[in-house]
Structure 1
Amino acid sequence: MKSSRPERTTIGGIAGRFGLATHVLRHWEAEGLLDPARDTAGRRRYAEADATRVAVILRAKEAGLSLDTIRVLIAEPARRRTVLRAEAEALRTRIAAAQKSLRLLECALGCGHEDVTRCAHFQEVLAERGSSES
């Protein structure tokens, strides 16, 4: 017979699921990002909602968000849109810079010149660094 209580996992189980060290989860808890239930012995027990929150934190960190910003995303609905608009614009800027860098690398990879800096096409791509049009 199945229990009506939701299934919960240990800190080691949730850490393993996401490839994290357990101290990372403890740190996020100390930062107010996670609040797992505790069993009668005081051990952390993570539900599926906690796993979802871990996934949100990881994805937000991959996007370059700080833990403070992630806390706003998760726990401060009144400030969420304002903060996330600014973060989205910053991410767009980083993506545009990364795309320019990738164009430069791809140009260098495809260049047959001994000294890539003497290549006219490479210099054109490099000149984009000073241009706001690209």
Structure 2
Amino acid sequence: MKSSEEDGAGTLSIGALAARFGLATHVLRHWEAMGLLRPGRDAGGRRRYGADDLTRVATILILKEAGLDLSTIRTLSATADRATRHEILRPAAEELRSRIAAAQASLELIEGGLNCEYEDVTHCPNYRRLIAERTSSHTSPPPPLPVVLRVRVGGG
């Protein structure tokens, strides 16, 4: 690395840290503006990121991949209280369980289409069962069919 990217103290420039994680430098600046990062500064006022910052960026990315938004990550990182952490994470866990269930239903639908021996998928028993479930009388409107079904059945 060039000396401007890593100094003798083992800190990284904003460009080097961004490159390490495949991010644009403006992302790190945004996270800093939100209070998620607090880089040190060198004598010239340039940001310098150390080992703790590396861990922090990795943590932010992992939490984003888990579906948390930056505001939630900031709130979560500001607390060490277990009860507060649970209060923050419980709705996120429920949302994720819901998305997993929807993805599982979509996968089952697709696999049913792959295993269907009929030329027209609308004749498959699994498809007919799904339609019957959706069209049976409900007191509230049924949830929409998975996006995959609407796209595949519609004509193409």
- Fold agreement, TM-score > 0.5: yes
User: 1:5-24 to 2 correspondence within 5 Å?
Assistant: 6-24=9-27
Q: Distance in 1 between matches of 2:80 and 2:70?
A: 16
Q: Distance in 2 between matches of 1:6 and 1:81?
A: 37
Of all paired residues, the percent bearing the same amino acid is 57
Specify whether residues 46 and 99 from structure 1 end up closer, same or farther in structure 2 by C-alpha distance, changes over 3 A only.
same
Q: RMSD across aligned C-alpha pairs, in angstroms? A: 2.3
User: 1:78-97 to 2 correspondence within 5 Å?
Assistant: 78=81, 79-97=84-102
Classify the secondary structure of the residue corresponding to 1:77. coil
Aligned: 1:39 with 2:42 = yes
Please identify, of 90-99 and 74-83, the stretch whose mean Cα deviation from structure 2 is larger: 74-83
Instruction: Tell me which amino acid in the other structure corresponds to 2:59.
Output: V
Q: Distance in 1 between matches of 2:45 and 2:72?
A: 29
Give the paired residue count. Answer: 127
Select which of 94, 100, 105 maps to 1:100.
105
Uncovered stretches (5+) of structure 1, i.e. residues with no partner: none
Q: Distance in 1 between matches of 2:132 and 2:67?
A: 27
* TM-fit CA distance, 1:48: 1.4
Q: Deviations over 1:44-80 (max 9, x none)?
A: 1111111111111111111111111111221223432
Uncovered stretches (5+) of structure 2, i.e. residues with no partner: 1-7, 135-141, 144-156
Q: TM-score, normalised by structure 2?
A: 0.71
Instruction: Tell me which amino acid in the other structure corresponds to 2:63.
Output: A
Q: Distance in 1 between matches of 2:125 and 2:10?
A: 62
Instruction: Tell me which amino acid in the other structure corresponds to 1:36.
Output: P
Select which of 58, 72, 80 maps to 1:69.
72
Select which of 110, 117, 124 maps to 1:119.
124
Q: Distance in 1 between matches of 2:102 and 2:132?
A: 13
Contact 1:104 1:126 (C-alpha < 8 Å) held by counterparts: no
Contact 1:103 1:125 (C-alpha < 8 Å) held by counterparts: no
* TM-fit CA distance, 1:106: 2.1
Higher-helix-fraction structure: 1
Select which of 11, 29, 32 maps to 1:29.
32
